[in-house]
Amino acid sequence: MTLLLALKWMLEDEGRIKEAVVVASDSKVTTEFVSYEERKIYPIGIRTKNDEVPLAVAGGAGDVPLIKQSYKIFEKILTSLAIKKWKGKTPSFEQFELAVGEIESALISRFRELREQGIDPNINMILASVDSSGRASIYRFDGRGLAEPVHDNPGFAVIGKGFVTGGNLLLKLLGYTPSYTGDLGMLSTFIIDVVSEIDPTVGSFLGENYLMRVEEGKVVLGPLKEEFIKEYKEKVRRRKDIIKRIWELMDEFGEEKVERKIEELEATSQK
C-alpha cells in the first residue's frame, strides 16, 4: 500500500491567482513477503518540435502491475488526443473532462476482463491536470475503473492505506482547504513523514513530489528539486518538535497564554 496526495494549491502568475496541483507520495511498496522502494507518480506529456508539453500527472496505490498497466492506458489516450485534437497543447479543463470519460471506459472494460479471469483489481488511482487558464482537474479512479471528480469537492484526493492511518486526519488538523496558499510541498512532506512513523506500509518522504502549474502563462510540470527535499526534511523535524513544545507549554501555562503569544506573532506578520 502507500500514501499518495493530490492537493490543489493557489499560486500567483502574472498578477493573478491561479490553481495548481501538487501530487506527492511515499516510495514504499509492501507485499506479503517483501518491501521495496519504487516511484509511484507518473508524469504524462508529449514532445513537440520546440518544447515538452505536459498533459497530466498520475499516481496509484494498490496492485503494482495493474497500476503500471493503467498508466499506459492514461498515456495512450491522452497523447493520442493531444496529437489529433488538442493541437499539441495541454488540454483545457473541458477537454480533460472528456478525456477522463474515454479513460474511464477503457479501464472499466479492462477491469471487467480481469474479474472474468478471477482477478479482482485492488487499485486506486489519481489523475490530475492544470490548463493554461489556471484551472485544476483532479480525478480519483476506483477498482471498477470509475472516475470521480474531486477538484471542486472536496478539492483534493488522498489514496492508499495511509489515508486511513493519518493522512486525512492531518490534512484537517493542519487546516488544508482548496484555497490554501501556504507551502504545499512542506505540508505534503510533513504528512507523509508523520504517517510513515505509525504505519509500516508507508515509507518516509524521499522526494516524490510533482507540481503542475501555470508559470508566465505557460503550463509546466516538474519534480521537486533535490535542494528542496533536504530543506523540507529538516523543516519536518523542526516542526514536529515545535508542535510538541507548544503542546507542553499549553499544559504548563494554559491555552490562553499560548494563544496570546501566537496572536502577537500573527499581528507582527500582518504589519
C-alpha cell at 234: 529538516
pLDDT in tens, 32-49: 444 444 678 999 999 988
pLDDT at 167: 79
Q: What are the tens digits of pLDDT across the range 48-59?
A: 888 899 999 999
Confidence of residue 207 (pLDDT cuts 50, 70, 90): low
pLDDT at 1 over 60: no
pLDDT of residue 34: 44
Question: pLDDT category, 162, cuts 50, 70, 90?
Answer: low
Element (H, E) at 56: strand 52-62
Q: What's the confidence (pLDDT) of residue 229?
A: 82
Going by pLDDT thresholds of 50, 70 and 90, the confidence category of residue 208 is confident
Tens digit of pLDDT for each residue in 83-115? Answer: 999 999 999 999 999 999 999 999 999 999 999
Upper half-sphere CA count for residue 104 (Cβ side, 13 Å) = 14
Across the chain, what does the average pLDDT equal?
88
Sequence-ordered alpha helix ranges (H) in the chain: 64-84, 93-116, 167-173, 184-196, 226-253, 255-269
Q: What is the pLDDT of residue 178?
A: 84
pLDDT band (50, 70, 90) for residue 271: low
Judge contact between 121 and 152, C-beta under 8 A.
no
CA distance 191 to 196: 8
pLDDT at residue number 38: 61
Q: What is the mean pLDDT of residues 70-81?
A: 97
